[in-house]
Structure formats: C-alpha cells, structure tokens
Amino acid sequence: MIIVLAGGSGFLGRALHAHFSAAGHTIRTLTRRPRPGVREEVAWQPDGSIGPWATALHDADVVVNLAGEGIADKRWTAARKDALRTSRILPGRSLASALAAAPSRPRTLITSCAIGYYGARGDEPITEGTAPGNDFLASLCVDWEREATAAASPTTHVAIVRTGIVLHPDGGALKSMLTPFRLGVGGPMGTGRQYMSWIHLEDWVSLIGWLASSLPTVRAGGAPTAVGPGTTPPNTSAWNGTAPEPVTNAEFARVLAGVLGRPAVIPAPAFGLKLLLGEFANFLLTGARVLPAAAEHAGFRFRYRELEPALRSLL
C-alpha cells in the first residue's frame, strides 16, 4: 500500500512509520520540517486549504492523520487551548479538502482523536456509541472529528480512532511518570478513583495497521462516529483505541510501583495538579472507563489486555 502519514514526526507517528515500513508499505510523511534529502518527507503548512503537498495524496491507498499539538505537553492557558484547536482543525480541514479534490481518492482516512471526546463519566462503561461530553476537550474532539468526516464519500471511508493513554517508556504519560515512581515518590492522582483507559503502544500501532488493511470491509459493530447528538455521517466509523481492561488511577499506580519494585504511597494532590496543568488537570482527575467494543466486535485481537503484563513487557 501507499500510505500518507500526516503528523508522523511525533511519538506515535514514529512508531507507526516503523510498523508500516517493516510491513513493506510505501510511506509519505507530511511534515512542517522535512529533512533535506529525504524524498519521502513532503513539506506542508496546513492552514485549512489545499497546498502543493496535496499531490502526495493522489495515488495513496490510505491516509493517517496524527497532526496536533500534545494535549498534555503544557499548561492549558487560553493561548494553549487555541493552539490545541488550530493544530487539529486546520490540518483536518486541509486533508478533507485535498481528498475531495484528488483525482483518485484514497479508500481510507484514519484520524486519531482522543477519549477526551467522552468527557468525565465516572465508572460508566463507555463504548463508541456513547454521546460526547460537554467540556473543552470533548468539544474540541467533536469539532476535530467533524473536520475528518467531511472527507467521507462513497469511495473513501473515514475511521476515527479515539486514543487513550498510550504506554511506552519513550514517550507519552508513562515516560513522565517513571522518574517519580523510580524515586519512590509516585502515587495516585487526587482520590485515585478515576479510571485510566490505557493501551500498549504495540497494540495501538497494530490497531491502526489493522484498520488500514481491513477498512472499509470491516465495520465498527454498529457504532458509527458521532459528530454531535443525533447525527450519523455516512461511510464513517469510530474505534476506541484503548485496552479491554481499564483500571482506576490508584490501581495503575499500585501496579506500576510493583513492576518497578518501589512504593506508591505519595498521592499527587488535586490542587497541585490544577496549578501545574490548569484545566487539563480536570481530565486527569475525573477520567473515563473506555472500552474497545467496536474493535473486539470486529475481530481485532489485543496482545496486552491487562495492565501488569503490559507494563512488564515495557519495563
């Protein structure tokens, strides 16, 4: 297959690139900063319109969009929240416009969104058919998905992957947690009762690769992407990119500490997290119990269903 990867320079993009390369696929990466002499990297500055980079899509089979500033990278100020929106909305709009204008449309567009789509849900089991939440992150995810579903057509299927906490020591949440836990000062966040919906990096990459190879012949078990209450865009599907066994934050801290052979007795107070992270702390302190119902229904097999084996494989 010819695969176009937008936003491929980040933690997830690098892993996905390696996966597709090992499988023998041709990969073109849309990036703001292409390396000199690397022919597979195509310069793009997505502003919501079509640019010269769009020719990279003309004979592609699959497009994967991972573009967007890191949600947890910085404190959520007003300026940061604006950057989170524009870094997702404009690339999605650009890709949808380019796909609509392509002489031969790719058969699949896969866009990674976030489980923040669902908002704070306590211990309610969440599947792909659950309605969106109403906070900033949920609203952002709804708009993010709406841009992607605009690319759907009779010949192009749009798959939204609502990604949870991807575990790997080289990036993401686990990387930031390792130092305090290894020093013996790790522990649960706030009460620790909130759910953490996690996924091993290997399983996340495998899920994206499976969708790239299988769509549009597989379906999400009757769970179409929702872009707002009461709407069902045609030729789209939603997939929760989470492991089948989410755990509470307290359980996550206990298991991580056990794998590292360290204690987990020092909780991170809620007020400290709010001072450090701003509004994003609310997501960490409330969480959601997100289940990959669509993937399991459609036959995808997770290698790491439970947290402890996943962490032991990584650490």
The answer to whether residue 79 sits within a structural domain is yes
Is the distance from CB of 157 to CB of 216 less than 8 angstroms? yes
Is the distance from CB of 99 to CB of 182 less than 8 angstroms? no
- 113-135 pLDDT, tens per residue? 999 999 999 999 999 999 999 99
The answer to whether residue 83 sits within a structural domain is yes
- 158-212 pLDDT, tens per residue? 999 999 999 999 988 899 889 989 999 899 999 999 999 999 999 999 999 999 9
Burial class, 55, CB count within 10 angstroms (exposed 0-12 / middle 13-18 / buried 19+):
middle
Is the distance from CB of 227 to CB of 195 less than 8 angstroms? no
Rounded Cα distance between 85 and 28, Å, is: 25
The answer to whether residue 265 sits within a structural domain is no
Q: Does 238 score more than 50 pLDDT?
A: yes
The residue to which tokens 């010949």 are assigned: 155
Rounded Cα distance between 301 and 45, Å, is: 37
pLDDT band of 226, cuts 50, 70, 90: very low
Q: Does 235 score more than 80 pLDDT?
A: yes
Its domain, for residue 150, covers: 2-166+197-242+290-301
Rounded Cα distance between 25 and 27, Å, is: 6
CATH code assigned at 132: 3.40.50.720
> Of the candidates 28, 24, 57, 1, which has an alpha carbon nearest to the alpha carbon of residue 213?
1
- H or E, element range at 255: helix 249-260
Rounded Cα distance between 147 and 227, Å, is: 9
Mean pLDDT for the chain? 91
The answer to whether residue 57 sits within a structural domain is yes
What would the two tokens of residue 251 be? Answer: 């359980």
The answer to whether residue 173 sits within a structural domain is no
Q: Which amino acid is at 118?
A: Y
The answer to whether residue 214 sits within a structural domain is yes
The answer to whether residue 175 sits within a structural domain is no
pTM of the model: 0.93
- 27-64 pLDDT, tens per residue? 999 999 888 888 899 999 999 999 999 999 999 999 99
Q: Does 287 score more than 70 pLDDT?
A: yes
The answer to whether residue 307 sits within a structural domain is no
How many structural domains are present in the chain?
1
